[in-house]
């Protein structure tokens, strides 16, 4: 009995939905004049004014005047004498701290005094190394020039973009942790 009751309820719900849908659609001839009158009223209204066009900005003209200068994309930037001058020594044996970037190294202390002072540098491998002036560290051929109680001074060799090399000062400060 419950199954037939469910079926009857389903049919009743379907009929209600169908009649509700047909009641919303009006096909009586009395509604057409109202719709036509409303359309005529909407068409008779004056149109809303349009927004004014934005003011165009005047841009300053640019005259390119570098025709006589060297072309930045030509081979003229390469050092014509083969890049002589400063350069890293390719035959020098690399030291252990040259495997790490300079910003990953931490100075953790010093040993000694005066000219014999040795700095203690910890690498990312958590090994502490002893360094003194003349030792290389960092990936830019950085050579230590001075060891102080609060830091290490060094000179790095970096490419200048024209086939040569430039010396750039750098430092490694004592880690206060």
pLDDT reported for residue 94: 92
pLDDT in tens, 116-160: 899 999 999 999 999 999 999 999 999 999 999 999 999 999 888
Q: Copy the structure tokens of residue 134.
A: 């003349």
pLDDT in tens, 27-60: 555 667 889 999 999 999 998 889 999 998 888 8
If one counts the domains in the chain, the total is 1
Does a structural domain hold residue 48?
A: no
C-beta of residue 124 within 8 angstroms of C-beta of residue 132? no
Does a structural domain hold residue 22?
A: no
pLDDT reported for residue 97: 92
pLDDT reported for residue 83: 52
pLDDT band of residue 79 (cuts 50, 70, 90) is: low
Does a structural domain hold residue 27?
A: no
CA triple 142-145-151, angle to 5 deg: 90
Tell me which residue of 162, 90, 96, 84 sits closest to 131, measured CA to CA.
96
pLDDT reported for residue 175: 75
Structural domain harbouring 140? 96-173
pLDDT band of residue 171 (cuts 50, 70, 90) is: very high
- State the CATH number of the domain containing residue 120: 2.30.30.830
- Our measurement of the distance from residue 120's CA atom to the centroid of its chain's CA atoms, rounded to an integer in Å, reads 35
- Residue 18 CB-density burial (10 A; 0-12 exposed, 13-18 middle, 19+ buried): exposed
Question: What is the rounded average pLDDT for all residues in the chain?
Answer: 82
Does a structural domain hold residue 20?
A: no
Q: How far apart are CA 115 and CA 84, in angstroms?
A: 33
pLDDT reported for residue 65: 82
Does a structural domain hold residue 67?
A: no
Does a structural domain hold residue 129?
A: yes
Does a structural domain hold residue 84?
A: no
Does a structural domain hold residue 157?
A: yes
C-beta of residue 129 within 8 angstroms of C-beta of residue 140? no
């Amino acid at each position: 009995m419950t199954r037939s009751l469910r079926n009857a309820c389903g049919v009743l719900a379907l009929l209600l939905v169908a009649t509700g849908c047909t009641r919303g659609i009006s096909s009586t001839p009395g509604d057409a004049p109202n719709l036509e009158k409303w359309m005529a009223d909407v068409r008779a209204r004056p149109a809303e004014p349009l927004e004014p066009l934005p003011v165009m900005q005047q841009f300053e003209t640019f005259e390119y005047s570098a025709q006589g200068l060297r072309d930045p994309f030509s081979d003229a930037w390469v050092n014509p004498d083969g890049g002589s001058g400063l350069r890293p020594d390719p035959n020098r044996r690399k030291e252990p701290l040259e495997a790490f970037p300079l910003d990953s190294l931490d100075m953790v202390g010093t040993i000694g005094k005066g000219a014999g002072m040795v700095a203690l540098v910890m690498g990312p491998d958590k090994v502490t190394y002893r360094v003194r002036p003349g030792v290389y560290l960092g990936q830019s051929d950085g050579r230590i020039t001075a060891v102080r109680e609060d830091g290490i001074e060094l000179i790095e060799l970096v490419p200048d973009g024209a086939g040569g090399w430039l010396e750039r000062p750098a430092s490694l400060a004592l880690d206060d942790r």
